[in-house]
Amino acid sequence: MNDLPFWKSKTLAEMTAAEWESLCDGCGLCCLNKIEEWDSGDIYFTSVSCKLLDGESCRCSSYENRWDFVPDCVQLTKENVPDIAWLPPTCGYRLVDEGRDLYWWHPLVSGDPETVHAAGISARGRTINENEIDIDDLEDYVVDWPLTVGEEKDEEEA
């Protein structure tokens, strides 16, 4: 009998719908607006969140109907995860796809959905809603913290 948790014993393709959904740690980082340079393909995160992101819970306020409000919302699928370069380095989908383990603060590991926030990994308290800015000023909100969250903890553990 296999006593390993599903994220260690299954590929993304083998996961049930419920297992797949539970891989989301609730950080909200994927719901930040990004800027892509057309010539280089470089992607930059901003601190500007999608209008549907609840800044406190870091969850979509209309997940089931999000495409009604945000037609270009990117749906993560078992097939496209490897191709989405902007997934944060702490993303459970990315980690499992790369054959790596989930971090201690991931709700599946900790058993508590608040640990992602307590560990300082999430977007909680760091964003401004896209409805509150002039979209022409988006480049003024470029940040690097979505790519560096968790580095301090990793260094402490090393």
Q: Tens of pLDDT along 23-57?
A: 999 999 999 999 999 899 899 999 999 999 999 99
Name 34's bridge partners. Answer: 45
Decide if pLDDT at 158 tops 50: no
**Per-residue confidence at 151, pLDDT binned at 50, 70, 90?**
low
Decide if pLDDT at 155 tops 60: no
**Per-residue confidence at 152, pLDDT binned at 50, 70, 90?**
low
| Exposed / middle / buried, residue 113 (Cβ in 10 Å: 0-12, 13-18, 19+) | middle
Better-predicted residue by pLDDT, 22 or 154: 22
Q: Tens of pLDDT along 94-123?
A: 999 999 999 999 999 999 999 999 999 999
102 vs 94: CA distance, rounded Å: 10
Q: How is residue 58 annotated by DSSP? A: -
One-letter amino acid at 75 equals Q
The alpha-helical segments, DSSP class H, found in 10-72 are 17-22, 66-69
**Per-residue confidence at 139, pLDDT binned at 50, 70, 90?**
very high
For the chain, give every domain's residue range: 12-147
Q: What is the mean pLDDT of residues 77-90?
A: 92
Query: Which pTM does this prediction carry?
Result: 0.87
User: Which of 121, 120, 116, 146 is closest to 48 using CA atoms?
Assistant: 146
